[in-house]
Structure 1
């Protein structure tokens, strides 16, 4: 897992992207993007300060390999439900 953070124009810090590394082939990381932060607007307030407007967007699902690793290390199936496709949740 790699978490990318950034300080935005309004000086807030946001997690901009979360990726799951799947493989490393010929010096290149093969990954799947799980979440991204989308900046929708930069609003100038009455006091002249900038406010960044945005939201996090789910991009993809975790791999079966990561699912198994998380279960092996103590996460419950209930906690995993948010990250798995509905057909796999029992």
Structure 2
């Protein structure tokens, strides 16, 4: 199930955050996620570099009396480097299912 530009997240230079994507009661199979930097909506637009790393993909399954909840989780890191930028990003991905 493909998805594109979901969410609107802020990440400072050198910081990381976990992103959780719930898909309801359906197993979507193997899923891939990628953090996509977004253009700045400020003027003047800052010049510089940002680099996002997406990894530590996980699947969390919650079993309840009313059904099963599948959640796909990944860690997004903004690579720490002096002078590099903090950034907005969204998530895109997909996979088998």
Q: TM-score higher than 0.5 here?
A: no
Higher gyration radius (CA)? 1
Q: Which has the higher strand share?
A: 2
**What TM-score, normalized to structure 2?**
0.29
